[in-house]
Amino acid sequence: MLAPPTAAAQGGSVLLEADVDGRPVGVGNLVLKPTDTVKVSITVRNGTDTVQRVKTVRISGTALALTFFTYDTTVPFDVPPRSVETRTFPLDPNDLGSQATGLLPVTVEVVDVQRETIASVSTTGDVKGSLWSVYGAFGLGVLVLTALSWAGALLALARRRLPANRWQRAMRFLPAGIGTGLVAVISLSVLRLVAPSPAAEIPFIVGAAAVAFVLGYVTPHPGERPSSSVDADTVRIPR
């Protein structure tokens, strides 16, 4: 499920607001086109008693704890205590098309000189990239491999070619289940069917894997196989 797109604060009192081409981040999907340079505007509200020294603004897309793209823009500025600072800078994501596509969790962060995140805001990015980008190929690959895993396991079941050991049969179905969970998380987002949600990723994958494991566990014993390997060793005596 998608987490509410409200700004997250570090230290409890530093808030970040961001907008891209005038559209606030966190309201609707953040559309990112590799061909268009966008104007990113960030506003840091420092509610603490110390100066917040911003060095970099980072925009990253992450799924399954894997970062598929990151843009670090150096925008050094200080936010005095109890004050608000706004900075605007252009972002040219021209190589984004080869890195990601589809719906992807996107985070905008402000990072200090020690590379610690001061504040961040998350949203769902709608990346208009290529299907053959890293994320796109990954999602399609997972989809194809999952389909093959299911087909292989089910055909082996139908043809009575599964292992004789019940646990091994369950393990034969496990990859298909894990793949189904990954498809739900990645492939569907590549195809813009559903935005991935970090909260649902693990339950999806574990749940699908468990269901597939149980299905494999309840499959029938394949029985004795017809013999096939003997003829090669047979020596006939000519009569």
Partner 1 sequence: MSQSSVVAALPQYAVGEQIGEGGMGVVYGGVHRQLGRPVAIKRLPHAVAEDPRMSERFEHEARLLARLDHPHIVPVYDYVRQQGEHLLVMERLDGGTVWSRFAGDGLTAQQSCGIVLAALSGLHAAHEAGVLHLDVKPKNLLFTSNGVVKVADFGISQVVSEGATLVTHGGAVLGTPAYIAPEQAMGNALTPAADVYATGTMLYELLCGDLPFERGGGPLAMIQKRVYQDPRPLPNVPEPLAGVVMRSIARDPLARYRNAETFAIDLAGAAGHLFGPDWLVRLNAPVHLAPQVSSSSTRRSLRPVERDTVSLTQQPIRATLVDPVPAARLSGSSTLVPAAQVIRPPSSPWLLWLVAAVTLLAMVVVPFLGSGRGLPEVSLNLADPVQEQGNQLVVTLAGIELANVPRGDTGFVLPGATRWIVGGAVTASADGREFLLVSNQTPWLSLMGTGSALLLLFALAYLESNLRALRRRQTGAAAVVAAVPLGLGLGLAVWLLVSVLLKHEPTVPTALTCGVLGAAAALSASLASRRA
4 binds partner 1 per the rule CB under 8 A? no
How far apart are alpha carbons 34 and 51 in whole angstroms?
35
1 binds partner 1 per the rule CB under 8 A? yes
Query: For residue 92, how many other CB atoms are within 10 A of its CB?
Result: 13
Candidate segments 3-11, 66-74, 82-90, 227-235, binder of partner 1 by CB under 8 A: 227-235
From candidates 148, 155, 206, 210, binder to partner 1 by CB under 8 A: 155
114 binds partner 1 per the rule CB under 8 A? no
Query: For residue 178, how many other CB atoms are within 10 A of its CB?
Result: 20
Shortest reach from residue 15's CB to partner 1, in Å: 25
230 binds partner 1 per the rule CB under 8 A? yes
Shortest reach from residue 215's CB to partner 1, in Å: 6
49 binds partner 1 per the rule CB under 8 A? no
In the range 121-150, which residues lie near partner 1 by CB under 8 A? Answer: 150
CB-count exposure of residue 126 (10 Å: 0-12, 13-18, 19+)? buried
Residues 87-106, mask of contacts with partner 1 (x by CB under 8 A): --------------------
CB nearer to partner 1: pick between 198 and 222: 222
227 binds partner 1 per the rule CB under 8 A? yes
Residues 187-226, mask of contacts with partner 1 (x by CB under 8 A): -x----xx-----x--------------x---xx-xxxxx
Residues 57-76, mask of contacts with partner 1 (x by CB under 8 A): --------------------
Candidate segments 9-17, 30-38, 119-127, 230-238, binder of partner 1 by CB under 8 A: 230-238
CB nearer to partner 1: pick between 114 and 236: 236
CB-count exposure of residue 66 (10 Å: 0-12, 13-18, 19+)? exposed
Tokens 């053959």 correspond to what residue?
Answer: 132
**Residues of this chain that bind partner 1 (CB under 8 A):** 1, 150, 154-155, 157-160, 180, 184, 188, 193-194, 200, 215, 219-220, 222-231, 233-237, 239
